[in-house]
Amino acid sequence: MPELPEMETYRRLLHEQICGAVITSTAVQREKTINLPPAQFGQLLQNNRLTLIERRGKHLLFHLQSGHVLLLHLMLGGFLYLGTAEDKLARTAQVTVFLGERVLYFHGLRLGYLHLLTPDQIDEKLAPLGPEPLNPEFTLTHFEKLLEEKRGVLKTAMVDQHWIAGIGNCYSDEICFHARILPTRRIPELTAPERATLYHSMQEVLAEAIRFGGYMEQPLYRTDELTGGFDERCQVYDRGGEPCLRCGQPIVKDELSSRKVFFCTHCQQ
C-alpha cells in the first residue's frame, strides 16, 4: 500500500506536471470508486481547473477552482499513470481524467476511492487523522507525549493512522530497523534514549524515502526516473530470509496483528 513517501512523490510530480490544467472530461469504469453518479461526477469536474495538489497522510487532495476537492486514497494495489490517450497502460483504469491532451489514469482502485467533496466534507473526513510526522510542529516533545498515550506494541501503534498519519507496513519496519529497535517491543518498555532515537529515525527514513521517490514500482509517467527509487534501498521490508545489510544475519519475517513484519534479531533490540 502506498504510504507517505509514495503519496508525497506523487504530489510533487503531479504539481509540476498538471497543476493549473483544466479537466476537459472524465470516464468512470467502476462506479463504486466514486461517491456520485458518473454523470454528476463528470459534470462537476468538466471545465474545472486544478488549482492545488496537497497530501494528508496517505491521501492526495486535488483542489479545484470550483472549491470542490477530489480526495484520493489508493489503498492496496492502487497507483496512478499520467500519459495520453495513446500512451496508457495495458490494463483497465477505474477512473480516467482528461486534461486536454494529458490523461490521468487511476488504476487498481478496487479497494481505494476517488471522492468529490466540499471543503467541509474534507475537513470532516480527515479530522480523525493523526499528526504529520514531517511537519515542523511535530517535535520530539510532541512525539514523546503521543508515546505516553500508548500501551501496545510499537509497530501496531506506528501504522495507526489516528495516532500518526502516513506510516504503514514498510516504513514502520524501516524506521524501527534504523533505530535498532524491534517493532515487536511494547511502547512502555522503551527508554527515553530509545524514544528519541525512534523520533530521529522517523524523520531520516521518511525524508530519505521521499528523496528517492518511495518504493512504488510503476513510474508515474514515461520519463519519470524518480518514482520507486527507494525500493532498492529498503533495509528489511520484504527481505525475509535475506542477509541483514548491517550484520549479515537472516532477516526475520513474522506476522503481527495480521500484518507482515520484518526485522533483524541481531541488530534490533
Just list the catalytic residues: 2-3, 58, 259
Say which amino acid occupies 159: V
Contact assessment for residue 96 and residue 105, using Cβ atoms and an 8 Å cutoff: yes
- Return the C-alpha cell found at 124: 470532516
Contact assessment for residue 131 and residue 113, using Cβ atoms and an 8 Å cutoff: no
Q: Tell which residue, 10, 44, 78, has the closest CA to residue 221.
A: 10
Residue 104 pairs in a beta bridge with: 82, 97
- Beta strands in 102-230, from DSSP E residues, in sequence order: 102-107, 113-117
Sign of the C-alpha dihedral computed for residues 220, 218, 28 and 5 taken in this order: negative
Residue 267 CB contacts under 8 Å (≥ 6 apart), including other chains? 177, 180, 244, 246, 247, 249
Contact assessment for residue 73 and residue 59, using Cβ atoms and an 8 Å cutoff: yes
- Return the C-alpha cell found at 126: 480527515
- Return the C-alpha cell found at 267: 541488530
**Max Cα-Cα span within the chain:** 58
Residue 262 pairs in a beta bridge with: 253
